[in-house]
Chains A and B, each alone.
Chain A
Amino acid sequence: MGKNRKTTLLSELGRNKTLLLMISPFVIHLIIFCYVPIWGWVMAFQDYNPIAGITGSPWVGLKHFKALFAEPLFIKVIRNTLAISTIKLVLGTTTSLFLAILLNETRHKYFKSVTQTITSLPHFISWVVTANLVREMLSTDGGMVNDFLMFIHIIDKPVLWLGVQKYFWWIMGWSSVWKEVGWGAIIYLAAMTGIDDQLYEAAKIDGASRIQRIIHVTIPGIKSTFLILLIMNIGYLLSAGYEQMFLLKSGLTQDVAQVFELFAIEWGLNKLRYSFATASGIFASVVSITLITVTNKLSHKLGETALF
């Protein structure tokens, strides 16, 4: 039976020789660029030596994982990553949803599309540019935020916002809201256009106010979109977007800005502790997969939409 299936597969492949030929180079590319690095995970269980390579380096078992959890810096990295990405997730989701509701309530077509276009523009601007804009806006020398807060007498002298540890996570959160709110709203808005107009009409006849219609028709109507996005984003909780942190941190905020990727770059490429840095990457990957599987299962159990 098995042999039979094998021959059918081979003969089917034979009939699709051109297709096989068309895709083979890319399969090889995929294996080299995506799967060989995953195989490189074995480095974490060795004292990797670049000259000896993976085949020649000595095996050390879980030594680097133990060192990782004994490293106080690494605990800080976990804390920073989780804090920043949770703040970003909560702020990002609520602001995008809020903007989508406001746009959905806007009947003026032109105003609606202009607002949508302009607010989603920053999504396509690089973090390098965005970081410079953020620095200028928060600067102590003529930055908009300080000028404005001084104008309304909330502060007397400019504050070095990016130099204060307790503000750092929130600046990351709000600057990413600035960049992504419009783009994030598009997907919710698309889901809202799918809601049946009759539902709104019925609610109106029942005497529901506009805000009541938003709460009882709009929000339930996008619940599944909301949940799918939430599940996907929870899977990415351990990647907080390191470009932003790297570009906006300074010596003063180093302690609260260090996240997984930056930790791997610093320990792996600067301090040359390859195996140690690889172990931190594996930890992040494993946690991500676990998170996404668990939230997906949970969503299934609650009888809601699931990703897979």
Chain B
Amino acid sequence: MREKTSNLIFDSIKNFILVFLLIITLYPFVNLMAISLNDAQDTAKGGITIFPRVFSLASYTTLFKLPELLTGFINSVLRTVIGAVTQVFSCSMIAYVLSRKSFPLRRPLSLLWIFTMYVSGGLIPYYFLMRSLGLLNNFNIYWIPGITSAFAIIVIRTYISGLPESLIEAAKVEGAGEFRIFMQIVLPLAIPVLATMALFAAVDHWNAWVDTWLFNPKKKELTTLQYELMKKLASSNSSKSGKLGAEARRGSGSGGTTPKSIRAAMTMIAAVPIMLVYPFLQRYFVTGLTLGGVKE
């Protein structure tokens, strides 16, 4: 009996904490969603919590008219797709070679990659390297440096090493070359891990903004969505009178918007793609985490 009551108390406290955590996690998103869908002047009065009070799409329609936002969106999608596909393909090829026991350079080359997980040259030498390679103010900087990733290689190699060796041996007897074995046998079998790694790469690419900021700030046509959002954040932070704010006060554009409503709408645009796919793909992410041991 005593056991039962103490269990009940324990469970109540535990569930209370978990529900509290859920609310804290979700509320900021819901609140910003409500602000982005609410009339900006009305929002300024305060009190918006989880539902819009005066529904308005003005913030979104204003945003979609900004040319830099559309460019940023296209570039973000492009780098996400190109970056994820090239990284996963290259890393699986490397992983396959490094998993072949007959390959004599297997250990030294693996170490060469693992070393880069702990030591990097740092920003300045990297910057000058990009400059001499002609990658500054160039779209290719978004995907070329990320072609090989030590983390992805290790995870995929672990997975490939677990595939039955007999399949590869059988294909060899049939006379298939290493490249054909990789393309036609190993790649299809490794799809679960490849999907996981592609997701990780895609998320990283979608969320990246530092490379635009440091390496591509001068070319408007190379902007990315997260970088545009960062700029809005920075400008509203330093001065209350950004270009959009001034427009809103003059009442131009499509109805009232404020820097706050614009930021809210933009945050939604930057976050929603991930929030939409995440619940369905969550188990793949978790697989990646457990396969790779530990990432960060």
Contacts and interface: CB of A to CB of B under 8 A. Distances in A.
A40 B124 contact: yes
Given A18-B178, A19-B97, A118 B267 contact: no
A55 interface: no
A105 B12 CA distance: 12
Contact of B18 (A106, A187, A243): A106
Contacts of A128: 207, 209, 226, 229-230, 233, 270
Contacts, number: 240
A19 B103 contact: yes
Interface residues of B, number: 90
Task: Tell me what chain B mostly uses at the interface: helix, strand, loop, or mixed.
Answer: helix
Contact of B267 (A132, A243, A292): A132
Interface in A78-104: 99, 102-103
Nearest to B102: A16
A211 B294 CA distance: 28
Nearest to B10: A210
B237 A278 contact: no
B252 to A, nearest CB: 24
Contacts of A165: none
Contact of B100 (A19, A50, A142, A228): A19
A60 to B, nearest CB: 16
Interface string B13-50: 01101100110111111011001000000000011100
A43 B104 contact: no
Interface stretch (A31-39, A65-73, A297-305): A31-39
A215 interface: no
A16 B123 contact: no
B203 interface: yes
A45 interface: no
B275 interface: yes
Interface string A258-291: 0001001100110000100110011011001100
Contacts of A182: 25
B278 to A, nearest CB: 6
26 contacts: A9-B104, A12-B104, A16-B102, A19-B103, A22-B93, A22-B97, A22-B179, A23-B97, A26-B147, A26-B148, A33-B148, A39-B121, A102-B18, A115-B22, A120-B282, A126-B208, A129-B270, A132-B32, A135-B233, A136-B264, A141-B46, A142-B47, A144-B27, A232-B294, A247-B230, A269-B123
Interface of B: 3, 6-7, 10-11, 14-15, 17-18, 21-22, 24-29, 31-32, 35, 46-48, 90, 93-94, 96-98, 100, 102-105, 109, 112-113, 116, 118-129, 131, 133, 144-145, 147-148, 177-179, 182, 203, 206-210, 214, 226, 229-230, 233, 237-238, 260, 263-264, 267, 270-271, 274-275, 278-279, 282, 285-286, 289-290, 294, 296
Please name the 8 residue pairs, one residue from A and one from B, whose CB atoms are nearest each other, closest first.
A40-B125, A37-B121, A281-B122, A126-B207, A18-B178, A133-B28, A37-B125, A142-B46
